[in-house]
Amino acid sequence: WGRCRAACPTPASPRSRRGVGRGAGLALLGLVPGAPSCPHGPTLLFVKTSQGREAGRRFYACSACRDRKDCSFFQWEDEKVSGTRLAAREECNRNHQPSFTHRQNVERYKNFVLLPLSKRRFCQECQQLLLPAEWEKHLDHQFLSDISTAQLKSPSQLLHPLENKKTNAQYLFADRSCQFLLDLIVDLGFRQVLSVGTPRLHEMIQSKASQEEDFRVRSLLLDIDFRYSQFYTEDEFCHYNMFNHYFFGGEAAHEKCRKFLYQDNGERVIMVTDPPFGGLVEALASSFKKLMAMWKETAKEGHNNEEMPMFWIFPYFFESRILEFFPSFSMMDYQVDYDNHALYKHGKTGRRQSPVRIFTNLTPSMIVLPVEEGYRFCTICQRYVSSGNQHCEICNSCTSKDGRRWKHCVLCKKCVKPSWFHCSSCNCCALQNHTCGKADAGCFVCGKAGHKRSTCPSLSRT
């Protein structure tokens, strides 16, 4: 039940779905009415593609897991499923549900905090708070003792992050980035934070709210990691799949989210989301638009033509895909870093810098980046940029995406990475030691040159 976080920014492997062969791409057709469900909620409809065209039967597969080893659900769209198989599927879905409901976990937490420190135990293998009556069942397991109140207020540090690099890798904001985001939210005057897949930001807000009387910011965490239900009430956490906009708690949880957005007539609400980097952008965008629609429904009439303010935290090389679905968004230069990722850490240079950025529909000039960390304000672009991101007079923009100073190519009519050089044979800029003509054959999915199938921006495009 951990949040699926892909370790690399490639879409789902075609061979991870039965019936999809080597060398083919996948196109996401989306969430359709009447779609069958797996343990992660309604499935998504896919189709095999060849050179950008549909080339196979449509099929349903899990929305959250990229590999069938993690969720084995598969069904052809036109397949007739027997009653026996449907019953077995429903039984499987029930068996994959958590041991306790959210409400039961809330009651268990109330009993847990009443225990003396010496009787507070946390099973590291089951990732579960233990009451004394349950100790015997966990005798062979490793556990932590003397769980303090501070530990209970920081569950993201108590729980093991999911780090299977093939399928699940749960990266958590470093304190530097988390504190920056919270300071920015407060400075911009927001009071309600819809935290979609950002448990560390949520717990920082919860902690400050419990310690400081004058701290007015509140947060609601939406996350697929059900383990957090052990630490938060139903007003603070909703079990949610951001790939299919599915509330596991049903209409009651949906209403909790709606009520949260409705406070103060929808004023001063912002959504902050940190999705899995390997997730399909259009599936995420569809869910985020539905959350925005919920906000519009609850907000007063003056918001009819506005978008819910949002920070979407994602790698910079997905910029074109995000702007395709949210044209009002722009990308900030701030580098978001993570505690438990070897590369995405602050202070690294060159290509080892974190590629994770903040995409937002707020006016760029409003996003003040810390000067002490190497950011400056460009008066021409009217936004804060990395100190190495120099303004190009020809492009009339600060063009760098990765923090390094890019250079303008007159022949390509755009700025390119400093390590690229114009190749007369390929008639475009590329690495100096590239093989000429290699990209001319084009991507197998879209047919365009300059990239491989595995990193095709249009892979999974509807």
Q: Is 358 helix (H, G, I), strand (E, B) or coil?
A: strand
Tell me, what amino acid is at 180?
F
pLDDT band at 344 (very low <50, low <70, confident <90, very high): low
353 vs 63, higher pLDDT: 63
**269-282 tens-digit pLDDT:** 999 999 988 888 99
Lowest mean pLDDT, pick from 50-59, 153-162, 238-247: 50-59
Question: What are the b/e assignments for 374-402, b being 16+ CB within 10 Å?
Answer: ebeebeebebbbbebbbebeeeebbbbbb
**358-402 tens-digit pLDDT:** 999 999 999 999 999 989 999 999 999 998 899 999 999 999 988
Give the architecture (CATH level 2) of 175-387: 3-Layer(aba) Sandwich (3.40)
Whether 460 has a pLDDT exceeding 50, the answer reads no
Which tokens go with 425?
């044979």
Q: What is the pLDDT of residue 461?
A: 43
Whether 8 has a pLDDT exceeding 50, the answer reads no
What does pLDDT average to over the chain? Answer: 84
Q: What is the pLDDT of residue 15?
A: 33
Question: What are the b/e assignments for 100-132, b being 16+ CB within 10 Å?
Answer: eebeebbebbeebeeeeeeebbbbeeebbbbee
Whether 71 has a pLDDT exceeding 80, the answer reads yes
Q: Average pLDDT for residues 322-337, to the nearest whole number?
A: 95
Torsion angle (degrees, nearest 10) of CA 289, 291, 295, 297: 80
Whether 131 has a pLDDT exceeding 90, the answer reads yes
**212-226 tens-digit pLDDT:** 988 999 999 999 999
Which are the contacts of 264, defined by CB distance < 8 A and separation ≥ 6? 191, 192
Q: What is the pLDDT of residue 204?
A: 95
266 vs 70, higher pLDDT: 70
Whether 462 has a pLDDT exceeding 50, the answer reads no
128 vs 444, higher pLDDT: 128
Q: What is the pLDDT of residue 51?
A: 61
Which tokens go with 223?
């996350």
pLDDT band at 3 (very low <50, low <70, confident <90, very high): very low
User: How much is the CA Rg of the chain, to the nearest whole Å?
Assistant: 24
> Concatenated DSSP letters for 40-60?
TEE-EEEEEEETTEEEEEEEE
Q: What is the pLDDT of residue 162?
A: 62
Question: How many angstroms separate the first and last alpha carbons of the chain?
Answer: 28
Whether 126 has a pLDDT exceeding 80, the answer reads yes
Q: Average pLDDT for residues 73-79, to the nearest whole number?
A: 92
Q: What is the DSSP letter of 166?
A: T
Whether 92 has a pLDDT exceeding 70, the answer reads yes
pLDDT band at 133 (very low <50, low <70, confident <90, very high): very high
Q: What is the pLDDT of residue 447?
A: 52
Lowest mean pLDDT, pick from 200-209, 346-355, 383-392: 346-355
Whether 63 has a pLDDT exceeding 50, the answer reads yes
Which one, of 189, 190, 182, 194, lies nearest residue 259 by Cα? Answer: 194
Whether 349 has a pLDDT exceeding 90, the answer reads no
CA distances to 5, 195, 233, 266 from 291, rounded to whole Å, are 21, 12, 21, 12
| Distance (Å, whole) CA 462 – CA 460 | 6
Which tokens go with 203?
């717990």
6 vs 130, higher pLDDT: 130
| Distance (Å, whole) CA 154 – CA 200 | 8
Q: What is the pLDDT of residue 446?
A: 55
27 vs 371, higher pLDDT: 371
Q: What is the pLDDT of residue 297?
A: 84
Q: What is the pLDDT of residue 93?
A: 92
Which tokens go with 42?
């309604």
Q: What is the pLDDT of residue 318?
A: 94
Which one, of 371, 5, 394, 395, lies nearest residue 165 by Cα? Answer: 5
Q: What is the pLDDT of residue 377?
A: 95
